[in-house]
Structure formats: structure tokens, C-alpha cells
Copies of this chain bind each other. A is one copy, B any other.
Amino acid sequence: MSELRQDPVSQRWVIIAQERDSRPDEYVSTPNRRVAEACPFCAGNEIVTPEAVAVYTMGDALAHAGQPPTWQVRVVPNKYPAVRHNANGPVRNELFGTRVSANGVHEVIIECPQHAASLTELSDDQLRLTWTAYRDRLSEHARDAQWKYGQIFKNVGSAAGASIEHTHSQLIVLPHVPSDIATELASCRAYHEARGRMLLADILAQELAAGERIVAESDNFVAFCPFASRFSYETWILPRRHSAYFQRGGDGSPTDVELGELGRFVQKLLARMEAVLNRPAYNFFLHTAPFDSAPYHYYHWHVEVFPRLTKAAGFEWGTGYFINPVSPEEAAKTLRG
């Protein structure tokens, strides 16, 4: 049983998830090997994963042709979850620190049926359906009052913490708002209270006016390297229009058309990173407003992408400061090409 523990000195939260230690790591045993028959996420091997909680097909087109609807994107519970639904056990108060069962939901979004190591290989439909799955799974869990936040994230490559090659992302739903999101919300709320304006919208406008950290633009989205990038080539993607909630139910959730555009926009950015940075391991995550009914109109959902080129070391883990050897101005220039 996983546990959630808070350190009384640093105030950090940790999920102690013993069973995850037993998960297989295909990077260790089969570096650079691409074997669909052994891949738990390839079509045909559905039996290896827990039963799907959501399946996306191409829609009417295939059904019309009389063929069985093949899945394009498939969402399954994580077989080695960090948190578990209904894991509510007694809260044990230690003399120092609190421990509770790690309650939550841990799902895997498998982004295509064919074996692909990079989302740059996905079709436009698969991209649109992947981002639709993000929105829908967040929306589904947001309806359950016990959950307060859903973290969508993607790990690609062993150095970025991935254990399976087949392109996929993950969702961890929690009964509270994690500290980093709480800090962002507090910054945006304070700015809104002081000036009546949106911090992330004003940053975006400033970046567009200056231009030097802009990486790419589309009709509805902008990618830029943030002023204080903690990682080299870190890139944020923000919607141009005001949109606090990625999930439905809040204001401004992205439309189906926007999700298709966003999928292609992120794919193009990652293809550029793969080309100029020699296919680096990378992570991305999606920050969105929490599930509760408090107003978060002062926030903007956004995506943060960062290749794993440098390593957080003793200084970073000891201080909470980061050392980034590539300025965001240089990084944006390189990524613009």
C-alpha cells in the first residue's frame, strides 16, 4: 500500500510507493530494441494491461466502411500505480510528520496502436485524440468531489524516467492541490488582486512584444522559453485566449478544433527539439486550474516541456536553486532555427 508522507523539516510531500519498484524497465534489458511483440502498449497485447477506462477510435469513418473500430488512443489504469483509488486508510499521526494512504488515480494514455517511440510519429488524428483524452480524463475525474487536481505528464527516454518506449503519457489524480501548482496559483492570484490583470496573459503579451524568447506561434498557441528557465531549452506553451481550465466544467476549456491544433503544435516543437538536440530524453507536463469550485479565472493552463540535457545535482537538490548553462534567449534562437 502506497503512503503519502510529509517531511516536517522541508515540508515536502513524498509518495512512498513500494510496489512500483517491481515494474519492468525495458530500457535496462533491451536498449534501442524495438520489438512490438514484447511491447505491452502495442495493439494485439491489450491483455497485458489492465482493462481500458477509455478508448478513442477514428470515429464514424471506419464504422461506415464496415470494419471493426480499431482503437487509436487507449487509456488504462497504471499496472504499477503510485497512488490507488479508495486507498483511504486511517491517517496515522507520527510524532513528527503525517502519513496517510496514497489515495488517487494513476492512468496511462497510450497514444497509438502501432509501435512508435516518439510522438513525432503520430498522425494528426492520433495527436488530436491524445489531447482530447487528456481533457476528457481530467473532466471525468473533476466530477468526483474527492479529487482536487489532475497532473498530466509525459516521460520520454530512460534519462527522463520512462520505463516503456511506446509513446504514452500519464495522469495522476490527487485529493489535494500539489505545492508547485499552489505556488503558481498564489502568484497569479496576488498579481490579479494587485492589478486586476492576468499574470500569465501579461507575460505572454510581453514575450510576444519582445520576441527574443519566442519559439513558435500558431493561430491559438504560443511557445516560448521562459525568462527564468530552470532547464536548458525549457519551453512553455500557452493559449492566446484566456483559458484557466483544461478540463470541461471551468471556463475556457479548449475546443476540439483547438485540441487538434495544440497536438500538431506540440509535435512540431518536439520534432524541432529532436532535430537540433539529437533526440534528447524529455518530459512535459500540463498545469491546469484545480477541480474544486473556487474561482481560478486569474490562471492560465499551460504546458512545460524540457529536454533532459543537464542533471539536477547536489547544489540544486540542496538549495532549490537551478543552474542552467543555456540562456533562454539562446535556446529560443536555436529552437526557432
- A317 CB contacts on chain B under 8 angstroms: 283, 285, 304, 306
Interface size class of A (residues with CB under 8 A): 35 or more
Which A7-30 residues have a C-beta within 8 angstroms of B?
Answer: 7-21
Least CB separation from A309: chain B residue = B21
Cβ-based interface call for A253 (8 A):
no
Q: Are B313 and A162 in contact (CB under 8 A)?
A: yes
Least CB separation from A320: chain B residue = B180
> Known contacts being A179-B319, A319-B178, is A227 close to B170, with CB within 8 Å?
no
Q: Are A183 and B10 in contact (CB under 8 A)?
A: yes
- A283 CB contacts on chain B under 8 angstroms: 313-314, 317-318
| Segment touching B, from A67-75, A243-251, A322-330 | A322-330
Which A27-64 residues have a C-beta within 8 angstroms of B?
Answer: none
CB distance from A140 to the nearest CB of B (A): 19
- A15 CB contacts on chain B under 8 angstroms: 321-324
In angstroms, Cα B329 to Cα A6, docked, is 15
The contact string, 1 if C-beta is below 8 Å from chain B, for chain A 170-206, is 1010000011110110011001000000011011001
Cβ-based interface call for A312 (8 A):
yes
In angstroms, Cα B19 to Cα A284, docked, is 27
> Known contacts being A228-B5, A314-B170, is A16 close to B324, with CB within 8 Å?
yes
Q: Are B315 and A183 in contact (CB under 8 A)?
A: no
Q: Are B187 and A11 in contact (CB under 8 A)?
A: yes
Q: Are A318 and B96 in contact (CB under 8 A)?
A: no
Q: Are B323 and A181 in contact (CB under 8 A)?
A: no
> Known contacts being A15-B323, A18-B325, is A314 close to B155, with CB within 8 Å?
yes
- A84 CB contacts on chain B under 8 angstroms: none
- A320 CB contacts on chain B under 8 angstroms: 12-13, 178-180, 183
- A154 CB contacts on chain B under 8 angstroms: 314
- A202 CB contacts on chain B under 8 angstroms: 95-96
- A187 CB contacts on chain B under 8 angstroms: 8-11
The contact string, 1 if C-beta is below 8 Å from chain B, for chain A 129-159, is 0000000000000000000000101110001
Cβ-based interface call for A310 (8 A):
yes
Residues of chain A touching chain B, judged by Cβ–Cβ distance below 8 Å, are: 3, 5-21, 82, 94-97, 99, 151, 153-155, 159-162, 170, 172, 178-181, 183-184, 187-188, 191, 199-200, 202-203, 206, 226-230, 283-287, 304, 306, 310-315, 317-328, 330
| 16 other A-B residue contacts (CB within 8 Å) besides A96-B202, A283-B313 | A7-B228, A12-B320, A13-B320, A14-B322, A14-B323, A15-B322, A20-B325, A153-B313, A161-B312, A161-B313, A170-B315, A285-B314, A285-B315, A286-B318, A304-B318, A312-B312
Can you give 10 contacting A-B residue pairs, CB < 8 Å?
A: A9-B188, A10-B183, A12-B322, A13-B320, A14-B321, A15-B322, A17-B323, A153-B314, A153-B315, A160-B311
